[in-house]
Structure 1
Amino acid sequence: ANQPEMIGNIAASYLRKFATKKDADTTYGIRNEGEKFFIGDTEIDVNDNNIIVGDKEYEGSPGLWELIVMKTPDENIFTRKDYENYVQIMSNTNALRKGNNKDSRAPRSSKSAVVIIPSDPDALLERFDLLMASKAASNTGVRNEIVSICDELKRQNVL
């Protein structure tokens, strides 16, 4: 992937937070290997403020950057669309999987639990919103369910 010549102000602001590791999500967010950036097992590019994952370019809004970079995202910054893009990125990059391995059924958490989720996409999205708010409040016990919801939404082609 080619590195762009210019990085937008929004991207630069969040990449600085990432670089200092201050309040940055070092588990699920962006990581760098050499001069390349990755989320999960996938190399990403930044074009102006936009985030390119594979062949898809996501609008690099402050909300999406907040979700990707920050350990505890400010829910006043991101929108539902940012959320949906974030879920899609996390799912498509295997970022929530143990070892970033798409074949791993295990989430990154060391705890295993059976998670029963509804099949209605609206109920799933509603539950996802609640779980993400819980995660933003530093509740680390919700990751298994978030992964399961992402898997189900992807299976239903909602993502």
Structure 2
Amino acid sequence: MDNEQRILEELVKAKENIKRSTPEKVEEELVENDESIPVRKSKYNAELENLFNSPDFDKTYGPKKIHNQIILGKNVIKFTDGKLIVLDLKKIEYITTEGLLQLIFLKSPISYTSHDLYTYKYILKHTYAHLITDGSKVKKGGKKYINIISKLFPSGGGLRVKLQKNNLVYWDNPNEIIDRLKLLLASQAAGNTGVGNEILSIFEELLEAGLIKRIPNV
């Protein structure tokens, strides 16, 4: 009986200790999380500033600071919360990675994935950053053109073939718009909530072009 009483007392003490320690622990975690948000933003902004000031900064295809705005090609862009936002008739968001930022900012990017290249190509198509001022042909010059731009646009394509009604994107062929759709769906699955309208727009274009069929409700 004494053993049972002693065990019961130990359980009560343990329960009281949990009650006292848990709120403090939760409060500490909340403080840490609150502090991490501005820290992450500060680091992200510092990374962007370092890219702008890099000796390898790309003055031909890269973004420019004009009147307190960042301009890429023909569009105002913003970098926030780990995303690149292209401002046009509607906002289009891209999740940035270290490789994608190198492709956007640097003349000689060295560390990027095939996914980064796909994303970079669509950013160029949205902003026309790879084209001369009148949009008639691709800007040529430097290692970046030889190693990256010319391979993304091997025949100077992507200039004036339009599938999207909203005038945001020009496409060479249906395969490219399908690739874009895959990219958007993957981004949405990863938690990006800003791509829904563009996904719907692409489905509408594919339907109108007769490339997909609507399945009737049963």
TM range (shorter): 0.5 to 0.7
1:70 alignment counterpart = 106
1:155 equivalent to 2:186? Answer no
TM-score relative to the length of structure 2: 0.48
Q: Is the 8 A contact 2:108 2:144 kept in 1?
A: no
Structure 2 counterparts to residues 62-141 of structure 1, below 5 A: 62-74=98-110, 77-99=111-133, 101=134, 104-109=135-140, 138=143, 140-141=145-146
Where does residue 23 of structure 1 map in the other structure? Answer: 56
- Aligned counterparts of 2:132 and 2:123: Cα–Cα separation in 1: 16
> What is residue 80 of structure 2 aligned with on the other side?
47
2:85–2:94 contact (8 Å) kept in structure 1: yes
Q: 1:38 aligns with which of 48, 51, 71?
A: 71
- Give the Cα separation in 2 of the matches to 1:61 and 1:49: 8
Question: Unaligned 5+ residue runs, structure 1?
Answer: 111-134
Q: Which has the higher contact order (CA 8 A, sep 6+)?
A: 1
SS of 1:53's equivalent?
Answer: strand
Give the whole-Å Cα distance in 2 for the aligned partners of 1:7 and 1:69.
19
Q: Report the RMSD for the aligned CA atoms in angstroms.
A: 2.8
Deviations 1:57-92 (Å, cap 9, x if unpaired)?
A: 111111110110111001xx2111111110000111
Corresponding residue number in structure 2 for 1:57? 93
Distance across 2 between alignment mates of 1:31 and 1:144: 22
CA distance in 2, matches of 1:144, 1:79: 17
User: Does the aligned pair in 2 maintain the 1:51–1:57 contact within 8 Å?
Assistant: yes
Equivalents in 2 of 1:105, 1:60: separation in Å? 28
TM-score, scaled relative to structure 1: 0.64
User: Where do 5+ consecutive residues of structure 2 fail to align?
Assistant: 1-37, 162-169, 181-218
Contact in 1 for aligned 2:82/2:96 (Cα 8 Å): yes
In 1, Cα distance between equivalents of 2:104 and 2:144:
17
Letter aligned with residue 107 of structure 2: K
Count of residues in Structure 1 that have an aligned counterpart in Structure 2: 123
